[in-house]
Amino acid sequence: MSALDHARGLLLMARKDFDAMRGMIGNPLFADEVFGFHAQQAIEKALKSWLAARSIDFPLTHDISRLLGLLEQAGVDVSLFWPLVQYTVFAVQARCEAGLMESEASVDRLAVIAEVEKLLTTVASVTA
């Protein structure tokens, strides 16, 4: 499989998580932790797609800052996407630790969707 094919496959998977997020707008049946998990997954897969498109090896990690750092080291301007690091907590910790998110303010789902959509659009342009 070529690097570009791998990148496109990862982006396709990121879009599936993004679609799940969109399906959770205004639906109280889905806890913020579940929504946040899909946000984190969409971000992680999109960043790995970006790395794959540039033929950059990446580790098996859920750490968004680590993936952004690899892109930055390769000379990619990812400054717009550093705020997405806050979603790393949803990879495992927020889904598995009861009460972790209960004291936090609820997630602004529309804002998160807009942020993730910017990333997906950017990555789509490098995998076209």
Give residue-wise pLDDT tens across range 78-90.
999 999 999 999 9
pLDDT of res. 67: 98
Give residue-wise pLDDT tens across range 5-17.
999 999 999 999 9
Q: What is the pTM for the complete model shown?
A: 0.91
Residues 6+ positions from 84 with CB-CB distance below 8 Å: 43, 64, 68, 115, 116, 119
| Domain coordinates in residue numbering, the chain | 3-127
Per-residue pLDDT, averaged over 97-121, amounts to: 82
pLDDT of res. 100: 54
CATH 1.20.120.330 at 3-127, yes or no:
yes
